[in-house]
Amino acid sequence: MAATRVEDSTLIPSGRHAHHDPHTQDASGHHPALQHHFDNLEQQRDATTLGMWTFLVTEIMFFGGLFMAYTIYRIFNPEAFAAASRVLEIKYGAINTAVLIASSLTMAMAVYFSQIGNRKLLVAFLGLTMVLGTAFLGIKAIEYTGKFSHNTYPGAVPFEIDHDVVESYEREKGKPFPDLNRVQMFYVIYYGMTGVHALHMVIGIVALGFLTYFAYRGAYSPEYNSPIELTGLYWHFVDIVWIFLFPLLYLIGRN
């Protein structure tokens, strides 16, 4: 039986009337998502993937600068940083770590279902990832609120540390609590790093919102799902950053 070659190099028997999917190709045989400056979807996908990885490299350098600042100040103020971390509540950090690990799983499932063309489960897992991301931000907001209510933030007048934490530290260590000016530097870095991370979470949630809308409209298919995959890369990167932040800010030197 004769066959007709189409844009994506698959073969469709010419003696059979092929089903036409408006989301797969237009009347000219080109996928509607294919930009004019690319020859095919594979080339477009390779280019966008390279672009995302290039962007993530710049993000690594950006966060690397923050981690370097943390390392330098911790080397010169080890006792102050260790004492300051005792104020942070491990339960919030641990819960948020579990939430983000779960969100990485749901994001991976969304990518998988976009690849096999299951629109219903794609939308479901994108939505669940958004819910988990929002839960992370909600928990972080609760944590921030507690710190601000006790004047535990840079520039507070006066800058204070919870008295129970101070008494516990002095009883265990047998020496005065470290200088509050040095302790305050820990919170400059803490709010800076977690705040920037939270901003990246917000950006990711907004992107997921758009993806969920377009997925519901049937914009993605096994042939075209690169926006889902690229957003997945971004989301996993943001999750990995938190995996480093949690032990550095909450655990190291605490005891």
Return the CATH class of domain 60-251: mainly alpha
Residue 12 has pLDDT above 50, yes or no: no
pLDDT digits (tens, 9 = 90+) for 28-39: 445 555 554 555
| DSSP assignment of 32-64 | TT--TT-SSHHHHHHHHHHHHHHHHHHHHHHHH
Q: Specify the pLDDT at position 30.
A: 57
Higher pLDDT, 221 or 243: 243
The model's pLDDT over 127-149, given as tens digits with 9 standing for 90+, comes to 999 999 999 999 999 999 999 99
- DSSP string over the chain: --EEE-TTS-EEETTS-PPP-TTT--TTS--TT--TT-SSHHHHHHHHHHHHHHHHHHHHHHHHHHHHHHHHHHHH-HHHHHHHHTTS-HHHHHHHHHHHHHHHHHHHHHHHHHHHT-HHHHHHHHHHHHHHHHHHHHHHHHHHHHHHHTT-STT-SS----HHHHHHHHHHHSSPPPPHHHHHHHHHHHHHHHHHHHHHHHHHHHHHHHHHHHHHTT---SS--HHHHHHHHHHHHHHHHHHHHHIIIIITT--
| pLDDT value for 253 | 73
User: What pLDDT sits at residue 15?
Assistant: 37
Q: What is the mean pLDDT of the chain?
A: 85
Decide if 200 contacts 193 (C-beta within 8 A): no
- Its pTM stands at 0.82
Least confident stretch, 21-25, 113-117, 128-132, 236-240: 21-25
In the predicted model, what is the mean pLDDT of residues 177-181?
91
